[in-house]
A and B are shown apart, each in its own frame.
Chain A
Amino acid sequence: MEPINENLNRKLKQNTMRVPDDYFTNLEQSIFEKTIGTETEQIKKAPVIKRIMIITTVAATVTAIYFGISFFGKDSNTKLAIQLAEMSDTELNNYMDDQIAALSYDDLYGYVAQHVDDISTNTIFNSAFELPAQSDASLTNDLHEQVLDQDVLNQIIDKTEINLEPTLMDSIDEEILQEYLNDATLFEHLGL
């Protein structure tokens, strides 16, 4: 190294600069907050924004169908999105609860009937909710097997048994009954 005047060297090497207590711990923390912290925050925020956009879209669509018109244009939809984005979680939940509460069974049924093509709307509703007195007669046996779960089938059987008089049951021949139950047209007779 280039020789430096000894006095100068001594003065230069003397560290006269200080830092606050725990500065380097705080510095590291501050750096992490501005780098890793920022990225983690962005990762956390992304699903919230995505969720809000999905909720907004669904809410706007359902509401438009509810009123039977395309109530929300692009501009109004954006405004709604902004309003929703500004809401707290509680406000957002309350808003969604209100929107959903405003929809009747018929509204939901109408929406699904209009937008779900790959499976019978009745099937969806009958399997998800209680079975109506009259089911879709066009429903095939295969579809019943695919859609109706065991609980629903049990309900049908229970209702059938309750409606039958015990004396009537006694008078039916066992073999005829078995044959009748094995008949594929049974479901048609039952209106299922």
Chain B
Amino acid sequence: MTDKEIVQLCLDVSTRERGFRLLVQAYSKKLYWHVRRMVVSHDDADDVVQNCFIKVWKGLPEFRQESKLYTWLYRIASNEAITFINEKYRRSSVALETEGESYSANLKTDPWFDGDAVQVQLQLAIDTLPDKQKQVFIMRYYDELKYEEMEEILGTSTGALKASFHHAVKKIELFLKDNLNQV
């Protein structure tokens, strides 16, 4: 079923429930992985993605189809993840200088993270990126979205997105060079 058909089902009160089920089945994995790469922890991603779909459900009657379905969903998910990360940092009592160590320790004990020391450093490197660069990097590199799609989701020009991605890659490489002997 196409996104357009799903949207039509969602907008009709009599078929809204069926439409939403199809929407969740089509996008829960994609959005989960997008959110997971942003927030890293499985438990956090689980919370964020559920909140995201609750917002989608509540917002469906007002969805005007001015943007494509997946664009709208990614925007909600991405914003939810950023909001969550910022709130988490605000709540955290850990001092900035020990934040990296704490993050690293959490990842090593995370039962749903299998990475080695290098991959922990990689996650740390991504985590050091500013919000916008992190969003751009994850959407482009992991989710493999086109710049045109990202432009619609983030409301940023393709040129600015390319620049953000470039800076993100350079920062990650630099971070790893500084923190690891060999990558």
Contact = CB atoms under 8 A, between A and B. Distances in A.
Interface of A: 1-2, 4-5, 7-8, 11-12, 14, 16-20, 24, 27-28, 30-32, 34-36
Given A2-B165, A12-B122, A14-B119, A34 B28 contact: no
A19 B32 CA distance: 10
A32 B70 CA distance: 19
Given A27-B50, A28-B25, A32-B21, A16 B113 contact: yes
13 contacts: A1-B140, A1-B141, A2-B162, A4-B169, A5-B183, A14-B119, A16-B116, A16-B119, A18-B114, A24-B32, A31-B24, A34-B54, A36-B17
A49 to B, nearest CB: 22
Contacts of A35: 20, 53-54, 57
A24 B29 contact: yes
6 smallest CB-CB distances across A and B, nearest first, come from A16-B115, A35-B57, A31-B53, A16-B114, A16-B119, A18-B112
| B contact face: mostly helix, strand, loop, or mixed | helix
Contacts of A20: 42, 112
Interface string B102-145: 00000000001111101100100000000000000000110000
B150 interface: no
Nearest to B172: A8
Interface of B: 17, 20-21, 24-25, 28-29, 32, 36-37, 40, 42, 46, 49-50, 53-54, 57, 112-116, 118-119, 122, 140-141, 162, 165-166, 169, 172-173, 176, 183
Contacts, number: 76
A11 B42 contact: no
A30 B50 contact: yes
Contact of B183 (A1, A7, A28): A7
B32 to A, nearest CB: 7
Contacts of A28: 24-25, 28
A30 B28 CA distance: 11
B21 A27 contact: no
A17 B28 contact: no
B42 A17 contact: yes
A59 to B, nearest CB: 35
Most chain B Cβ neighbours within 10 Å, of A11, A17, A24, A36: A17
B114 A11 contact: no
A6 to B, nearest CB: 10
Contact of B50 (A16, A19, A31, A36): A31
